[in-house]
A = this chain, B = another copy of it.
């Protein structure tokens, strides 16, 4: 049996988990609830003064864990690939200004071309923004997404592929974000987590659960304990591989977005202690 989680010192919430809240509401309510870390989604930065948001985060007891999300590099159109580069440079600037050490990358996929071609463009995109990431002291975390997103959101669908990409780039500023939702089904997961740790490429750990049945491709993720993922086992694999960072709760859920968000935080804390 994996070790139990005893406190909230490594509990981080993604602001998208509480989509109804703006960044100020997230910071105030997370802090009051004793949450230790926050990952800021870029939607809550829209039309905000970044320096003011930085002060808000700095004044809270929480650590700013990462910004989500950059990426979406592939396109059959050169103009759109350039737009993606520009957008990633903005995201790096936002992460740096907020004091977030990591930018999470959703790789992207272009349905009009082979997955291999999309993976090449993901590599190209990362290499193009890498100098700015280095200068800004922001690490880029490649997040492999579930194969059900291969057509439109990510041509990187296994940890093996993300590991290979990170190893090929071989930079202190590129690593991998490991999300149980995307990778739990993979019989190579344990071995690939070891490999990721051995190569110093683990940057982040995202948790939630897989509902059975799942009713929506995007917004029907479960809270830990709701579904069939053995989160404690995967967390133990992460720790054995040397990961010592935050356990980040990232849940897109129409169901949970519809309930009282402070009540939801209570459910998350309970699920975190008992099913994570």
Query: In the complex, how many angstroms separate the beta carbon of A253 from the nearest chain B beta carbon?
Result: 16
Query: In the complex, how many angstroms separate the beta carbon of A123 from the nearest chain B beta carbon?
Result: 14
Query: In the complex, how many angstroms separate the beta carbon of A144 from the nearest chain B beta carbon?
Result: 12
Cβ contact of A212, chosen from B146, B151, B211, cutoff 8 A:
B151
Query: In the complex, how many angstroms separate the beta carbon of A57 from the nearest chain B beta carbon?
Result: 34
Q: For residue A147, which residues in chain B have a CB less than 8 angstroms away from its CB? A: 146-148, 185-186
Structural contact, A185 and B214, CB atoms closer than 8 A:
no
Contact string against B for A residues 203-219, beta-carbon threshold 8 Å, 1 for contact and 0 otherwise = 00000001111110100
Query: In the complex, how many angstroms separate the beta carbon of A168 from the nearest chain B beta carbon?
Result: 14
- Measured CB to CB, the nearest residue on chain B to A114 is B230
With known contacts A157-B185, A161-B187, A187-B161, A214–B111 Cβ distance under 8 A: no
Q: For residue A212, which residues in chain B have a CB less than 8 angstroms away from its CB? A: 111, 151-152
Number of copies: 2
> With A and B bound together, what is the CA distance between A114 and B228 in angstroms?
8
Let me know if A150 is at the binding interface, CB within 8 A: yes
Structural contact, B111 and A151, CB atoms closer than 8 A:
no
Which positions 78-117 of chain A face chain B at CB distance < 8 Å? 111-112, 114-116
Interface centre among A151, A157, A158, A230 (most CB of B within 10 A): A151
Q: Which 5 A-B pairs have the closest CB atoms?
A: A150-B185, A111-B228, A148-B148, A111-B212, A151-B212
Supply 16 A–B pairs (Cβ within 8 Å), ascending by A. Answer: A115-B187, A146-B147, A146-B148, A147-B147, A147-B186, A148-B148, A148-B214, A150-B210, A151-B210, A151-B211, A151-B212, A151-B214, A151-B227, A158-B187, A161-B187, A217-B217
